[in-house]
């Protein structure tokens, strides 16, 4: 964990912090001295991240929450801001992905993607804006989109990420007169559990690609050794969660007189999964 104190005294909330990119963002902000509030559904990995941040001298809390409960999310953001007296950074990172074609997508799966990727993000932005205005802290909203937003063959998932870009740009303009900046961050391919809801054939294909047989149930996390093997096997075709966390850290370290509307972080070489 790279340590510095650039964010000491600042408060951050990171959704989807129980895995992958969100976990790396929480660790990066915590290592820089921010008080980090992790949000996700799975308690053990968040507890482990809280322990790592505390061991490095930082402060963090784990908050188990299903983001489809929008009232609970808004209440958590209000509580964190009231207790801290400020909210500096809101990272709306949680997301669900699918690689099915639009015509093949189940309506329930599409609803879940819109609910988590778009509506929870919208609620997170609105509640964070309310908290930043109320406490007078000002701050940054960072919304995790995807390069899938630019690929029309990315199914319903791509449509949700295009919506993230649209909402972020609209909010950026609506908030120009506030001390609140808005960034949409588009990662390329990163080795995480994001593939857990891909078709069983695709998940098995990932196992074959990295030489580890895989028989996970839909929605089940991939074994850590598979993610590590993917990282090693795919080299510069795949980015690391820490690379995305570094980009978030850069954005939230900028003065509020600037706004970075969008950042695309791709691995050096292109791969479609």
Ligand X SMILES: NC(=O)c1ccc[n+]([C@@H]2O[C@H](COP(=O)([O-])OP(=O)(O)OC[C@H]3O[C@@H](n4cnc5c(N)ncnc54)[C@H](OP(=O)(O)O)[C@@H]3O)[C@@H](O)[C@H]2O)c1
Contact positions toward ligand X, by CB under 6 A?
A: 16, 18-22, 40-42, 66-68, 93-97, 116, 144, 146, 187, 189-190, 192-194, 196
- Please, what is the minimum distance in Å from the beta carbon of residue 85 to ligand X? 26
Q: How far is the CB of 176 from ligand X (least distance, A)?
A: 26
Q: Which of 126/221 has CB closer to ligand X? A: 221
Among residues 222, 240, 223, 221, which one has the least CA distance to residue 231? Answer: 240
Name the β-bridge partners of 186.
264
Min. distance of Cβ 158 from ligand X in angstroms? 10
Reported in sequence order, the residue ranges of the chain that DSSP labels E, i.e. its strands, are 11-15, 35-40, 59-64, 89-92, 139-144, 180-187, 262-265
Nearer to ligand X (CB atom), residue 67 or residue 86: 67
Name the residue nearer to ligand X (CB basis): 7 or 189: 189
Q: Among this protein's residues, is 157 annotated catalytic?
A: yes
Residue number with CB closer to ligand X (21 or 210): 21
CB of 63 to ligand X, least distance (A): 10
Catalytic residue among 157, 166, 249, 250: 157
Return d(Cα 49, Cα 207) in angstroms, integer: 27
Q: Identify the CA nearest to 32 among candidates 10, 13, 55, 51.
A: 10
* Residue 220 DSSP one-character state: P
Both tokens assigned to 19: 């895995």
Active-site residues, by number, are 157
């Amino acid at each position: 964990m790279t340590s510095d104190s650039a964010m000491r005294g600042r408060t951050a909330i990171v959704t989807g912090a129980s895995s992958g990119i969100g976990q790396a963002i929480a660790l990066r902000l915590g290592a820089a001295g921010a008080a980090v509030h992790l949000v996700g559904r799975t308690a053990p990995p968040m507890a482990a991240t809280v322990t790592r941040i505390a061991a490095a001298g930082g402060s963090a809390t784990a908050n188990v929450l299903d983001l489809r409960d929008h009232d609970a999310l808004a209440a958590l953001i209000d509580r964190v801001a009231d207790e801290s007296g400020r909210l500096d950074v809101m990272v709306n990172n949680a997301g669900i992905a699918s690689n099915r074609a639009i015509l093949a997508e189940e309506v329930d799966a599409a609803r879940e993607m819109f609910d988590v990727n778009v509506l929870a993000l919208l609620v997170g932005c609105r509640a964070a804006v309310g908290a930043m205005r109320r406490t007078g802290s000002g701050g940054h909203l960072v919304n995790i989109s995807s390069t899938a937003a630019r690929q029309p063959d990315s199914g319903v998932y791509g449509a949700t990420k295009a919506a993230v870009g649209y909402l972020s740009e609209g909010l950026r303009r609506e908030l120009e007169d506030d001390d609140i900046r808005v960034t949409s961050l588009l990662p390329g391919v990163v080795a995480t559990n994001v593939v857990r809801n891909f078709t069983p054939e695709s998940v098995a294909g990932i196992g074959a690609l990295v030489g580890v047989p895989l028989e996970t149930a839909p929605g089940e996390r991939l074994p850590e050794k598979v993610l590590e093997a993917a990282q090693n096997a795919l080299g510069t075709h795949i980015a690391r969660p820490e690379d995305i966390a570094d980009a978030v850290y850069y954005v939230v370290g900028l003065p509020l007189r600037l706004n970075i509307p969008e950042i695309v972080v791709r691995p050096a070489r292109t791969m479609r999964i």
